[in-house]
Chains A and B, each alone.
With several copies, the nearest count.
Chain A
């Protein structure tokens, strides 16, 4: 397993401060974290014999960037009221969250491979119990977003300048409560709230447009009063700069529509809803995936030997 030091293990910084590393440096670090994240999540889903690889892979770059450069939260500050919050509203992608958390030292890299097992805190969907850095329990689409809005309100009421980030799926846009939250957040001018949509064009069964079309998505969010950014969700510099623009948006919440590829990084999964979940990866499939993600034979052995 590639042992890389986490990007930040430093002291607590203020809500608006960003790590003082030069841009290219941090981009390289984030890319490395994203690579680790993809490998780790494939391994954990393989070991679990079930899970949702497609939507976990599509958001790896987003989460790597968020944890690598945007969130002012470190293992030492998980209980600090001043910390930024991240809510994984599309809870089924938690292997990505566990992986990036492991990368940054919130949990043990090896232990967090113990996914979906009885007694493990790394449940099939994120649960607050036993994982202090999981901000709320999710798994039922739509709810995490509403909870995140409540957090943004709570922080503002307590005059805490931290920000709240939440990641939603595009299929999740079909849940009505998402639009309740969108409307209410805009009404309350929650500019400390940022929703990122993992726009991978696919949901559980098929393409969004086959199941229930959500286009034009940006128009919807604008009509609901949000500042909207449309980006390539695998372009780390673009994600970074968009987070910055979102953080400086005043008077309304920000929505980042991140165009992504479901299964990104594992060629045989890319662009196929079949890999949404709950799928069981064979040893060969996991191996092929890790090869595609650049693992050495030794790393593959370490990841897959249970």
Chain B
């Protein structure tokens, strides 16, 4: 029975962000002879099992030891390699101080790629749901922080971080994801894009919240509200110019992220906005609470980060804008 009774791995659907990452990394690897991938016994979950299979000699198994893995990556980078450190977002936080000192402070060309971010890990429960990773890594000086929205963008970002010389933290995701972009999509570190036009309010989102923001914009459109949607895959450095323009043109913002409302995309946007032209912002994210077990979509509903809540936040933001005028 053992042969044809192979277990079905959860969430290994072809359209997840981790699959897009793992496959693209594997595909472009020959172009980057110094590329090396590090894993801490979770390769089956991060998408890099594809890489291991294709490029076993460029794959380093570190065991369940994230601290050593991240600092070792800094050492590999010091010898000229381009290490991509992979793991689940919550467990990579185990190596926070290594990311700070050996990677960030020494400014090593290390890419930290985290799957299972936010509520994405679902049934595994609150312990495994990393809702503070964007905040923590954003605070490390010089660290670029990225959270793509769909498989196409994830693949583009995968190449972009290899092209970029410096420390990067990038989220992927395990759940099946909505495809948003076409093959002509462009990803550039530090640049956001308006993916739906509108002048009443801007919804700024990253990761899984981009699709939900688009849905929210549709809900709002039914009421005659024209919501602009901005895809903001780079949380740091944040695209200040684009935000400035959105504030000028729409007068209020909603931020949406699969993350604590403290410290992540919402904060980055609030910092940029108050630094330039201030405006009302409503933030969608987990309200300083940990997660719990459940399917990602159920959880999104439970923690109120789905389209209806984004739409409601947009209405609040617009009301506040009126009030100011």
Contacts and interface: CB of A to CB of B under 8 A. Distances in A.
A81 B123 contact: no
B157 to A, nearest CB: 24
Contacts of B7: 274-275, 279-281, 285
Contacts of A177: 65, 67-68, 71, 98
Given A147-B74, A158-B80, A278 B10 contact: yes
Given A81-B79, A183-B63, A146 B98 contact: yes
Contact of A139 (B1, B61, B71, B128): B128
A268 B63 contact: no
Nearest to B2: A268
B125 A127 contact: yes
B136 interface: no
A116 B74 contact: no
Contact of A149 (B41, B72, B83): B72
A181 interface: yes
Interface string A274-288: 110011111001001
Contact of A150 (B76, B94, B105): B76
Nearest to B73: A150
Contacts of B319: none
Interface string B240-277: 00000000000000000000000000000000000000
Contacts, number: 228
Given A157-B36, A157-B81, A180-B68, A139 B41 contact: no
Contact of A174 (B36, B63, B80, B124): B63
Given A118-B292, A138-B127, A147 B302 contact: no
Contacts of B78: 85, 135-136, 147, 150-151, 154
B102 A149 contact: no
Contacts of A127: 105-106, 125-127, 292
B240 to A, nearest CB: 27
Contact of A154 (B61, B67, B75, B298): B75
Nearest to A122: B293
B101 interface: yes
A210 B7 CA distance: 21
B72 A171 contact: no
B72 A125 contact: no
Contacts of A150: 71-79, 83
Contacts of B71: 143, 146-147, 150, 177, 181
B30 to A, nearest CB: 16
B88 to A, nearest CB: 10
B124 A279 contact: no
Contact of A176 (B65, B90, B101, B299): B65
A119 B302 CA distance: 10
Contact of B1 (A152, A212, A268, A280): A268
Contacts of B101: 137-140, 143
A171 B123 CA distance: 22
A282 B293 contact: no
Contacts of B293: 116-118, 120, 122-124
A140 B127 contact: yes
Contacts of B1: 267-268, 288
A272 interface: yes
Which of B62, B76, B77 counts the most A-chain CB atoms under 10 A from its CB?
Answer: B62
B128 A136 contact: no
A173 to B, nearest CB: 8
Given A118-B302, A148-B75, A181-B72, A139 B124 contact: yes
B302 A211 contact: no
Contacts of A267: 1
Interface string A195-209: 000000001110000
Contacts of A155: 79
Given A204-B42, A211-B41, A141 B64 contact: yes
B9 interface: yes
A267 B91 CA distance: 32
A153 interface: yes
A128 B75 contact: no
Given A116-B123, A116-B125, A136 B74 contact: yes
A151 B67 CA distance: 15
Contacts of A91: 127
A271 to B, nearest CB: 9
Contact of A151 (B76, B90, B97, B302): B76
Contact of A158 (B79, B125, B292): B79
Which of A143, A281, A288 counts the most B-chain CB atoms under 10 A from its CB?
Answer: A143
A153 B60 contact: yes
Interface of B: 1-2, 5-11, 36, 41-45, 57-58, 60-65, 67-68, 70-81, 83, 90-91, 94, 97-98, 101-102, 105-107, 123-128, 292-295, 298-299, 302
28 contacts: A49-B123, A117-B123, A118-B298, A118-B302, A123-B292, A124-B123, A124-B293, A135-B78, A137-B126, A140-B91, A143-B102, A146-B71, A146-B98, A148-B75, A149-B68, A154-B78, A158-B79, A158-B80, A174-B65, A180-B63, A180-B68, A181-B72, A212-B61, A212-B64, A267-B1, A274-B7, A280-B10, A285-B7
Given A127-B292, A184-B65, A272-B2, 10 more contacts: A123-B292, A137-B101, A138-B101, A146-B74, A150-B72, A151-B79, A171-B63, A177-B68, A279-B7, A282-B8
Interface of A: 48-51, 81, 85, 91, 116-120, 122-125, 127-129, 135-143, 146-155, 157-158, 160, 171-172, 174-177, 180-181, 183-184, 187-188, 203-205, 210-212, 267-268, 272, 274-275, 278-282, 285, 288
